[in-house]
């Protein structure tokens, strides 16, 4: 299916709770399969709680002109479990039919810019080592993070977000 490449990236707001939860469930199922997928009710409850209580995170959504959400990325401060990284790309999902339109790249760059505005200069993410999307992170300059035993478990990191932002085109 082809789409016009018309979309915009904006800050998520509490009014996005229901559509963001629906998008999260749909994209999770596309990426990880239906088995063990969280319910819409659970995701809506989680997003509602995040918007109501948490203040140490931010989220960008990608939407098409009719307002439909087609992707999102959530950033938060890293808990320090992996030394050398201050920020965390906690979640990033784009509907499969919208892959290869630059949405994921722009979402990552927006997250990186927000971190830089906050004085956070590095970022990591934790994913599935077998995920076919891992090449996407590597194309954006992320390095694979290995365990002490030298194993790769799906972690990626950008040690210098300035390099990521300078390499991109989002302004």
Determine, yes or no, domain membership for 160: yes
Q: How many domains does the chain have?
A: 1
The pTM score is 0.92
Is 3 a domain residue? no
Query: What average pLDDT score do residues 96-107 get?
Result: 94
pLDDT tens digits, 109-119: 999 999 999 99
Whether the CA torsion 115, 119, 122, 125 is positive or negative: it is negative
Domain that holds residue 142: 8-167
pLDDT over threshold 70, residue 77: yes
- The residue-averaged pLDDT of 127-136 equals 87
Contacts of 2 by beta carbon, 8 Å cutoff, 6+ apart? none
Dist CA 67 CA 62 (whole Å): 9
pLDDT digits (tens, 9 = 90+) for 18-40: 999 999 999 999 988 777 788 99
Strand pairing class (87-94; 123-126): parallel
Residue-level pLDDT at 169? 53
pLDDT exceeds 80 at position 67: yes
pLDDT digits (tens, 9 = 90+) for 151-160: 999 999 999 9
CA geometry: angle 143, 113, 111, nearest 5 deg: 65
Rounded-to-10 torsion of CA 158, 159, 164, 166:
180
Mean pLDDT, the chain, whole residue set: 91
Is residue 63 one of the residues assigned to a domain?
Answer: yes
Q: Let me know if residue 37 belongs to a domain.
A: yes
Instruction: Please report which residue ranges of 54-120 form alpha helices under DSSP H.
Output: 103-117
Q: Output the domain CATH number for residue 84.
A: 3.40.630.30
Residues 6 or more apart whose CB falls under 8 angstroms from that of 14 comprise 48, 51, 52
Helix (H, G, I), strand (E, B) or coil at 145: strand
Read off the pLDDT band of 52 (50, 70, 90): very high
């Amino acid at each position: 299916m082809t789409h016009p490449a018309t979309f915009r990236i904006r800050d998520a707001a509490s009014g996005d709770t229901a559509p963001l939860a629906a998008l999260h469930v749909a994209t999770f199922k596309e990426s990880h399969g239906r088995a063990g997928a969280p319910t819409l009710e659970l995701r809506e409850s989680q997003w509602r709680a995040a918007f109501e209580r948490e203040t140490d995170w931010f989220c960008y959504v990608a939407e098409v002109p009719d307002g439909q959400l087609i992707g999102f990325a959530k950033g938060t401060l890293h808990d320090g479990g992996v030394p050398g990284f201050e920020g965390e790309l906690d979640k990033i999902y784009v509907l499969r039919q919208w892959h290869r339109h630059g949405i994921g790249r722009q979402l990552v760059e927006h997250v990186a810019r927000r971190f830089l505005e906050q004085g956070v200069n590095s970022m990591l993410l934790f994913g599935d080592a077998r995920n076919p999307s891992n090449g996407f992170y590597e194309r954006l300059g992320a390095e694979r993070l290995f365990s002490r035993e030298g194993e790769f478990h799906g972690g990626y990191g950008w040690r210098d977000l300035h390099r990521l932002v300078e390499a991109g085109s989002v302004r």
